Chains A and B, each alone.
Chain A
Amino acid sequence: MLGAPLDYLLAFLVGGLVCLLAQLLIDLTKMTPARILVVYVVLGVALGAVGLFEPLADFAGCGITVPLIGFGGNVARGVREAVSETGLLGALTGGLSAASGGTAAALCFGYLVALFCHSKPKCP
């Protein structure tokens, strides 16, 4: 009823692998985290564009959708659907609409955290 054990295993294995690849990029190429995130989100859009994102997401579930690739995949899906419905304008409206849930959540929670919390000194 709460999904097959295989779903969890695949989410763990694939999600872990996606993160491991990013860690290798950080450690071996000195790529900054900001660049990694940009690469991953664009990769997600590209996977969605060539039609690979959905099969991957069906296979690995949250192992693909929870990493930022999923954010990109969502954007691609949103754009595709919007273009089909409203034409060229959908190229502009589809992406943010599909990503609106996560983005708005981050903004709202960010604001609330800023209101109620204080930054602490870093400890090494």
Chain B
Amino acid sequence: MNFDRRRYLERVKERESKSPVVKNCFFAYLFGGGICTLGQLLLSLYLFAGLSERDAGTLVAVTLIFLSALLTGIGVFDSIARIAGAGTLVPVTGFANAVVSPALDNKSEGLVMGVGAKIFTVAGPVLLYAVLSGALYGVIHYVVALFS
């Protein structure tokens, strides 16, 4: 067969069906903005209840994580996320889903080697790079502080 791999790959790229970018962006904005607004409402509630600014902020994250875990558990998070895309991925709900879904999925392999060993398979990179870049910043901050 007459097969030119480079030309073939160009053609594959050319005729590939494209994601519906405008629609995806609309829903990402709507859901993402909506989740953040919900967070804001929760924050106001917790502040009103007398929590400190910092505790209220943490509790907002915890509440959203709880909701996301619940929706993941009853099997509707993935259906929402298929429409919302980055709208549910980027808020802390996406991080929660990334932790909860492998835990649930690997339940069949046991609570230690399944749930335990696999719980960070999706969210691990986020945690690693958060801690890593944080540590790097800490060192830089320390050194800068020494000389100033």
Interface of A toward B, CB cutoff 8 Å: 1-3, 7-8, 11-20, 22-28, 33-34, 36-38, 40-42, 44-46, 48-49, 61-63, 65-68, 70-72, 75-76, 78-80, 82-84, 87-88, 90-92, 94-96, 99, 101-103, 105-107, 109-120, 122-123
CB within 8 A of A20: which of B41, B86, B139?
Answer: B86
A-contact bits for B56-74, CB 8 A (1 contact / 0 none) = 0111111011100110111
How many chain B residues have a CB neighbour from A under 8 Å?
A: 81
A to B CB contacts below 8 Å, 19 in the list: A1-B48, A15-B37, A20-B25, A26-B19, A33-B86, A37-B123, A38-B129, A41-B129, A45-B133, A46-B133, A46-B137, A66-B92, A68-B126, A75-B133, A78-B134, A91-B141, A91-B142, A107-B99, A109-B69
- Within the assembled complex, what's the spacing in Å between the Cα atoms of A117 and B13? 41
- Within the assembled complex, what's the spacing in Å between the Cα atoms of A1 and B47? 10
Q: Which residues of B contact A123 (CB under 8 A)?
A: 79
B40, CB-defined interface residue at 8 Å? yes
Contact A95 B135 (CB under 8 A): yes
Q: Which residues of B contact A116 (CB under 8 A)?
A: 73
Interface of B toward A, CB cutoff 8 Å: 18-19, 21, 24-25, 28-37, 39-41, 43-45, 47-48, 57-62, 64-66, 69-70, 72-75, 78-79, 85-87, 89-92, 94-96, 98-101, 103-107, 111, 115, 119, 122-123, 125-127, 129-131, 133-142, 145
